Amino acid sequence: MPSHAVPSFGFPPVARVDARVLILGSLPGRMSLEMRQYYAQPRNVFWPLMGRLFDAGLEHPYEERLRRLKENRVALWDVCASAKRPGSLDHKIETSSVTPNDFASFFERHRGIELVCFNGATAQRLFTDLVAPGLSKRIPTLRLPSTSPAHASLDFERKLAAWEAIGEVSRG
């Protein structure tokens, strides 16, 4: 049955040319879209994790957080350039409506990417199904526990332990 959801459109990538790690979400949720900020939902633990890993936490203004990620050679983007999704839950993304971002061009401009990390299973599935088959270069990937408040099965410290892998790669 076709959905009455209107398409949501993602944000441009946050990246310096020398980025080593790319963190991919699926598509910004409603609050993020309203605020025009990655991971703006207050119960999402993405920024608290980035605070612990790169001193890019919520105590800093949004633009400063992005600057600190870039300084640490961490890039941030989403798999979907646009997609239909009623609400904000990743599993509600209508796969048939997804237009993926242009990863071929991104990886051409950011040749130092050594690891693609997925913020949860949906980002990994969408990338694997819709993006990876069209890429000429294979880059190692790692699925990390979702930072979404909808995925609270792991506590913060266990999520942090998993996410520490990006700090190791970004620092070389």
In this structure, what are the phi and psi dihedrals at residue 21, rounded to the nearest 5 degrees? -125, 135
**Helix, strand and coil in the chain, % to nearest 5:** 40, 15, 45
Q: Tokens 């190791």 correspond to what residue?
A: 168
36: β partners: none
Instruction: Return d(Cα 126, Cα 120) in angstroms, integer.
Output: 11
Q: Confirm whether 101 is a catalytic residue.
A: no
84 touches 3 (CB < 8 A)? yes
26: CB partners within 8 A, 6+ apart = 78, 79, 80, 83, 90, 93, 119, 120, 122, 123, 126
As given in the structure block, the two tokens for residue 84 are 């239909």
Query: Which residues are known catalytic residues?
Result: 44
